Amino acid sequence: MAEVSQAGADAGAGAGQGAGAGQGKVRLDAIERGSSLWRDAWRRLRKNRASVVSGVILVVLVLACIVVPEVSSWRYDLADLKLGATPPSAAHWMGTDYFGRDLMARVFFGGRVSFTVGVIATLVSFTIGVSWGGIAGYFGGKVDAVMMRIVDALYTFPFLVLVILLMVFFANDRSVLHAAFQLVLSVAVENPKDPAYFPIFQIAVVFAALGAISWLTMARIVRGQVIALRGQPFVEAARSIGVGHRAIIFGHLIPNALGPIIVYTTLTIPEVMMTEAFLSFLGLGTQEPLSSWGLLASSGAETMDLYPWLILFPGGMLAVTLLCFNFLGDGLRDALDPRIRKD
Amino acid sequence: MIRFVLKRLLSILPTLLIVATVAFVMMRFVPGGPFDQERAVPAEVERALRAKYHLDDPLAKQYGDWLWALVSRGDLGPAFKYPNRTVNEIIALSLPISMQLGVLAMIFALLVGVPLGIVGAVRQNTWKDTAAMATAMVGVSIPRFVLAPLMILIFSLTLFWFPVARWETWRHMVLPVVCAGLPMAAYLARLTRGGMLEVIRSDFVRTARAKGLSERRVILRHALRGGMLPVVSYLGPGFSHLLVGSLVVEKIFNIPGMGRYFVEAAMNRDYNLVLGVMLVYGVLLMVFNALVDVAYAFIDPRVELG
């Protein structure tokens, strides 16, 4: 959770750099091509070595998670009880777990789950946060006061505690949500009652729960941006030609606040992935026989004195991914909007 | 001043009531009860158990009874899964341990994080800054449940410096406290650096320098006070992250704190225990947030108490 909400932590550092040199030329570019903000940002981002390397590593990791489980000679859930846990070898590059399952296949399959959770839960939080903050900021006054009061109140809640409750209560086969899930599923497949779909349902609950708790900071950031923008002439102009509220918010204001939104979205992904891993570690998120990095680390931690590779590989992958997202987010912040504030 | 503190503390009560009510209702509407997971509990035994704990009463009555017991006697009820123990007893035993862990971790985080951040800001764009911030970035990115096993592997199982688990002597406390506090320390380092950088160029710091104060005094007495504002305002949420992080640390190091009971109780549908632990978490968190608000008003003269 922590590392994301400090969007402003070292904003001051990058603030001075981007301006200065080449400003006049860029201005001209802007007039000629009309996309100087993004070109400028791209140029600044490319100069940030840590961000570029992080971005490349992330792309490689995502590709590996897509490709490796397909081309691997081992399936992620193929057990070989006679083999048991073996250290890394030529046949199993990351070794095998207690049930003789190939760890590399499990790690990269788990990566699919972890990345998917990260991206989808972030989309959920993006949707809620941007709409909430946009509406509150645009209308201002009482609407704003009430909406932001709710956000403030939610901030003081012990959130993960509630998520843990949500997971325990809704991610089981007798909950209302499960019935709803089966109903939706019955449109797509023939036998929605098949227990094979249950793990997917549980992951869906993880998406919803994580998305539902991580939109607060996004709402604050978007609100601040919208308030800063709503008095600008282009909004006036839009209103004067009769553009509706909704079109002004989502068609004019939000696109102009995209910089900070993108930065914060990049920083939400690792936060959500970390939380998913945390839930799985406690036994509440992804369940066997599926795998995710948190789940693998959890079972690895239990036997780390005997089979240390079982914790080192999945834990290392998770740590590298989070590190890369954070570096990339930092670089994007310096590139896109050096002055973005935490709240 | 005292009025402000009291008002702030009183404002906790409604939120707490909402948390308690939501949690209570959620628990009772959830499928499965505390007694249906045991194997081969005869129907009449389960009926007797349910009757004993009044689980068949109407929901409103259960809620009223529970709330009344809590308000009038501070009684959180019996723990279903731990026969002969009340929730109060369990919390009385486990809360001090969790508090020790939390407070020590926070002290550790402040002692490590803030100086690191100051170095980063004062020596901005030197190798010291880069090294401090790279370390901090690694620190915020490594989840506690990866960090803890790694530290156990290195310091307990290879070097034999510290015990692997439990919570008895100071030697037992070192690894859990470091694991719980390190991510927060890293985060505080980033916040401190950001806050200091903003202040360091401001007019009052220039004035302090112009008066001929030593650089050390300028930084520690003048700049730090302003630079600490983001750090102080983070301590509230930081404390809640610490609580949550201690769930993991308590599990890995086998520490008999409250976090362990919470997850277990939620899975077992031990209604009273879950509610009790949640309320304690809520109180801790909100009281801490209130204290942070007060401290903030003390440090920043621009904040008005109202």
In B108-257, the DSSP E strands lie at none
Which residue's structure tokens are 């862990």?
A: B101
Residue to substitute from A4, A5, A6, A57, interface B, most B β-carbons within 10 A = A6
Give the bridge partners for B78, in sequence order: B86
The pLDDT assigned to A5 comes to 38
- Could you say which of B124, B187, B263 has the minimum Cβ distance to residue A3? B187
- ipTM for the predicted complex comes to 0.75
Query: Using 50, 70 and 90 to split pLDDT, how confident is the model at B41?
Result: low
- The whole model's pTM is what? 0.77
- Percentage, residues of chain B above pLDDT 90: 7
Beta-carbon separation of A9 and B191 below 8 A: yes
Q: Which residues of A touch B236 (CB under 8 A)?
A: 156
Rg (chain B; Cα; Å): 24
The pLDDT assigned to B155 comes to 87
Domain residue limits, chain A:
47-336
Q: Is the pLDDT of residue B5 over 90?
A: no
Mean pLDDT of B93-102: 89
Give the bridge partners for A96, in sequence order: A102
Lowest-pLDDT range of A39-48, A116-125, A195-204, A290-299: A195-204
CA dihedral for B42, B47, B49, B50, sign (positive or negative): positive
For chain B, which domains are there?
1-306 (1.10.3720.10)
The pLDDT assigned to B110 comes to 93
Measured distance CA(B238)–CA(A75) in Å, rounded: 41
Q: Which residues of A touch B274 (CB under 8 A)?
A: 165
Mean pLDDT of B221-242: 81
Select the more confidently predicted residue: A158 or A273.
A273
Q: Which residues of A touch B184 (CB under 8 A)?
A: 2
Measured distance CA(A39)–CA(A237) in Å, rounded: 27
Query: Using 50, 70 and 90 to split pLDDT, how confident is the model at A130?
Result: very high
Q: Identify the CATH homologous superfamily for domain A47-336.
A: MetI-like (1.10.3720.10)
Q: Which residues of A touch B246 (CB under 8 A)?
A: none
The pLDDT assigned to A15 comes to 39
Query: Using 50, 70 and 90 to split pLDDT, how confident is the model at A156?
Result: low
Query: Using 50, 70 and 90 to split pLDDT, how confident is the model at A337?
Result: low
Beta-carbon separation of B263 and A2 below 8 A: no
CA dihedral for A161, A165, A166, A172, sign (positive or negative): positive
Q: Is the pLDDT of residue A16 over 70?
A: no
In the DSSP assignment, the letter for residue A292 is: -
